[in-house]
Amino acid sequence: MLNFIGTYECKIDAKGRLTLPSALKKQLANVVDDGLVLKRSVFQNCVEIYPMQEWDKLMGKINRLNKFKKKNNDFVRKFTAGVKLIEADANSRILVPKDLSAFAELQKEVVLSSAGEMIEIWDKENYEKVLNDVDDFAELAEEVMGDQDDE
């Protein structure tokens, strides 16, 4: 399982091209040739980047859903809406399609933020707002992780 590390500020050009920072490029080195998947985030206005192997794991879970339940079909349709397969070019740039860029409200300044096995692409201003919106991170951390026992 991949676990990306880091938060990187960079720029996206008018055509939607984003140059991968060198530290992130190194982390992607073993998986970028298999392709990357871009999709809308479920909970936030950002775009998620999945290496193909991680996308395949996620889709494996989704493909086990009972297709004869309407809510499952509705979920799959919305979850995969706008999904794009992309590749990095020779200059280590990726193209964020216009529909995904509009969804995430990407302007010139963006943030690439590691989120476990995926990377999030945020408009810088929106990213900072989301970080500041958490009222009490210590309380959130306890609620989410407090019941975890060390193994």
pLDDT of 151: 55
Q: Give the DSSP H/E element, type plus range, for residue 91.
A: none
Low-confidence ranges of the chain (pLDDT < 70): 1, 149-151
pLDDT tens string 91-106: 889 999 999 999 999 9
Amino acid at 23: A
Model pLDDT, residue 150: 58
Q: Which amino acid is at 135?
A: D
Predicted confidence at residue 149, as pLDDT, reads 63
CB 9 within 8 A of CB 110: yes
pTM over 0.75: yes
What are the extents of the domains in the chain? 7-145
Distance CA 75, CA 67 (A): 10
Going by C-alpha positions, the residue among 4, 99, 94 that lies closest to residue 54 is 4
Asked if the 7-145 domain carries CATH number 3.40.1550.20, the reply is yes
Residues with Cβ within 8 Å of 69's Cβ and at least 6 positions away in sequence, in order, are none
Give the pLDDT confidence score for residue 23 in this predicted structure.
Answer: 94
